[in-house]
């Protein structure tokens, strides 16, 4: 099937990035959120990011203007249902995602493919609550979406080959690279990345090193572009904790136990860059370690 119109649910950090790259690739996009303020902020951010690409001569002004014109903001979930493909990019909470898909079902076209941008939750389980598990799969973009080249495609137990090939075609149209993953907790990237971040938090928790020394060690000693604690702040400590909980509960192995310090930071509301405090304090001119 040919995909022309795509619905994106959630206009936050991931959703606006997904809408951005889809629109540049020529897809008509319905960007949905429960908040008009969030939609307005997303369109402003997409416009600013496109302007930055024009300034760097990555795209032309015409491509920028056409991309903005292809994005239609909407508060109505019914509008999302009248698309060829839906990419759900709401918060990383299974109960929220289940409710979103349930609200979508009455409005879907017979051929509409459903996908989730979840970074860790079972695709098979999400699909089982819909009327089309064979047309459901994981479509996991990396953050920031316009820059990162990888997309994980995750097949649930019922996902058919036609659905996989249709989604693979979208990834190819975006100029990105797909990695096929099996439907096990956290898939590939976060199955490897999050335990490393969690171990870095344990290293801090146990006093083996400071925030600065841990991040410097991985940047200079392992050639990582960002230190693990800096990266955790960028991702969001609440998201890191949610994924570690999925790994711990789904695989029942103590090596995935979230570090108590990570839990404490989330309880404090220190979630990283988005709240201005995490393992670093971002309220000044330069980030300052909080421990």
**199 has pLDDT over 90:** yes
Q: How confident is the model at residue 92 (pLDDT cuts 50, 70, 90)?
A: confident
- Cβ atoms of 270 and 237 within 8 Å: the answer is yes
Question: Mean pLDDT over all residues of the chain?
Answer: 96
In whole angstroms, give the CA distance from residue 86 to residue 116: 8
**223 has pLDDT over 90:** yes
Q: How far is CA 171 from CA 5, 81, 84, 141, 145, in A?
A: 14, 21, 15, 10, 12
* Pairing assessment for the beta strands 150-155 and 28-32 based on DSSP bridges: unpaired
Tokens 């316009």 belong to 146
**179 has pLDDT over 90:** yes
Q: What is the pLDDT of residue 40?
A: 97
Q: List the domains of the chain with CATH numbers.
A: 5-182 (3.40.50.720), 190-289 (1.10.1040.10)
Q: How confident is the model at residue 213 (pLDDT cuts 50, 70, 90)?
A: very high
The model carries a pTM of 0.90
Q: How confident is the model at residue 207 (pLDDT cuts 50, 70, 90)?
A: very high
pLDDT in tens, 109-150: 999 999 999 988 999 999 999 999 999 999 999 999 999 999
Positions marked catalytic: 119, 140, 152, 190
Q: What is the pLDDT of residue 1?
A: 75
CA dihedral 99, 24, 68, 139 (to 10 degrees): 10
- Cβ atoms of 134 and 158 within 8 Å: the answer is yes
**159 has pLDDT over 80:** yes
Question: How large a percentage of the chain has pLDDT more than 90?
Answer: 97
- Cβ atoms of 172 and 165 within 8 Å: the answer is no
**254 has pLDDT over 80:** yes
Q: What is the pLDDT of residue 146?
A: 94
Q: How confident is the model at residue 107 (pLDDT cuts 50, 70, 90)?
A: very high
In 3-state terms, what secondary structure has residue 168?
A: helix
CB count within 10 Å of CB 208 equals 11
In whole angstroms, give the CA distance from residue 92 to residue 10: 11
Q: Is the dihedral of CA 197, 199, 204, 209 positive or negative?
A: negative
């Amino acid at each position: 099937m040919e995909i022309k119109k795509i619905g994106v649910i959630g206009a936050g950090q991931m959703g606006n990035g997904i809408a951005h790259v889809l629109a540049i690739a020529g897809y008509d996009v319905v960007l949905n959120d429960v908040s008009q303020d969030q939609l307005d902020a997303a369109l402003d951010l997409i416009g600013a990011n496109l302007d930055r690409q024009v300034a760097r001569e990555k795209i032309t002004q015409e491509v920028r203007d056409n991309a903005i014109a292809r994005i239609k903001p909407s508060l109505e979930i019914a509008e999302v249902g009248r698309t060829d493909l839906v990419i759900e990019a709401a918060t990383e909470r299974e109960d929220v995602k289940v409710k979103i898909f349930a609200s979508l079902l009455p409005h879907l076209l017979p051929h509409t493919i459903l996908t989730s941008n979840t970074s860790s939750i079972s695709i098979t389980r999400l699909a089982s609550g819909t009327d089309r598990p064979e047309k459901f799969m994981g479509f996991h973009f990396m953050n920031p979406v316009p820059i990162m080249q990888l997309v994980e495609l995750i097949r649930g137990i019922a996902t058919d080959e036609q659905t996989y090939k249709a989604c693979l075609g979208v990834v190819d149209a975006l100029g990105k690279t797909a990695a096929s993953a099996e439907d096990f907790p956290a898939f590939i990237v976060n199955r490897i990345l999050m335990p490393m971040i969690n171990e870095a938090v344990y290293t801090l928790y146990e006093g083996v090193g400071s925030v600065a020394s841990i991040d410097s060690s991985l940047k200079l000693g392992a050639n990582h572009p960002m230190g693990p604690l800096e990266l955790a702040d960028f991702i969001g400590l609440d998201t890191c904790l949610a994924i570690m909980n999925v790994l711990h509960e789904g695989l029942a192995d103590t090596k995935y136990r979230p570090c108590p310090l990570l839990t404490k930071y989330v309880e404090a509301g220190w979630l990283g860059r988005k709240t201005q405090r995490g393992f670093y304090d971002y309220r000044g001119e330069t980030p300052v370690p909080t421990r």
